[in-house]
Amino acid sequence: MAHLPTDHSDVPIRLFKSDFLEFFSHISPITVLVIWLPVALFFLIWSIAHAPAGGFPVVIPLGFLVGLFLWTLAEYVLHRFLFHMPVKGEKAERIIFLFHGVHHAQPQLKTRLVMPPVISIPLAAIFYALFYLFFAVILKAAQWVAPVFSAFIFGYLLYDLTHYATHHFPMRGGYAKYIKRYHMQHHYKTPNARFGVSSPLWDKVFKTMPE
């Protein structure tokens, strides 16, 4: 995705002619919490409720750690290879602009800082299917699916809220200050690097963290 000129106007860039479609291109971080926090809690509680009797199974905390780890990788891969996909042609560029380009064009616009449900819900369904295929079908270990998916959704929530905070909260100390500066450098200095939002881990691994 080309580095777009930045527009600090409070007037949103219009994406659709239809007022109905345009309405769904704007979202509050509260909406993300309302939709996804119950989902994450449901799968966590379900995994605990269906755990075998006679002691707390180690699969739940381990599965939770695996899910968080997998989210950090998914965050990086989606941001780098989907949202910043190099494309040719007007239609393809239009699609990428709808996904992520508009955020780079207006990085401070509050209503386009978190992922709209029209994108996040299909992606969540795809990842759940992948986890079910891998753990339940291939490994024959279905008890891992719920804690891994729960943590994956918690990781997504942390990412989206961190992203919102980096653009609109002061974040003046410690890791918060570091990750805010890191993400601002992605926007204003290196739009084709620093793809991690909640963590720079995979930028280090895949060498997309400039010196």
CA distance 48 to 129: 21
Residue 122's nearest CA partner among 86, 64, 82 is 82
Sign, Cα dihedral of 209, 82, 183, 117: negative
DSSP SS3 for 136? helix
CB 47 within 8 A of CB 143: yes
Residue range 172-182: mean pLDDT, rounded: 95
| Statement: residue 45 has pLDDT above 50 | yes
Q: Is 152 exposed, middle or buried (0-12, 13-18, 19+ CB in 10 A)?
A: buried
Give the pLDDT of residue 154. Answer: 97
| Statement: residue 201 has pLDDT above 60 | yes
Residue 71's nearest CA partner among 166, 2, 147 is 147
Q: pLDDT (tens digit, 9 = 90+) per residue, 65-103?
A: 999 999 999 999 999 999 999 888 888 888 888 878 899
CA distances from 110 to 68, 80, 84, 106, 138 (A): 26, 22, 21, 9, 42
Please, what's the largest Cα pairwise distance for the chain?
Answer: 60
CA distance 78 to 124: 12
Residue 166's nearest CA partner among 186, 151, 149, 148 is 186
| Statement: residue 6 has pLDDT above 80 | no
CA distance 145 to 60: 10
For the entire predicted model, the pTM comes to 0.90
Q: Which residues contact 141 (CB under 8 A, 6 or more apart)?
A: 59, 135
CA distance 62 to 70: 12
Give the pLDDT of residue 208. Answer: 97
Q: Which two tokens stand for residue 185?
A: 């450098």
Give the pLDDT of residue 2. Answer: 47
Distance separating the N- and C-terminal Cα atoms of the chain: 22
Q: pLDDT (tens digit, 9 = 90+) per residue, 14-33?
A: 988 998 888 888 889 899 99
Q: Is 186 exposed, middle or buried (0-12, 13-18, 19+ CB in 10 A)?
A: buried
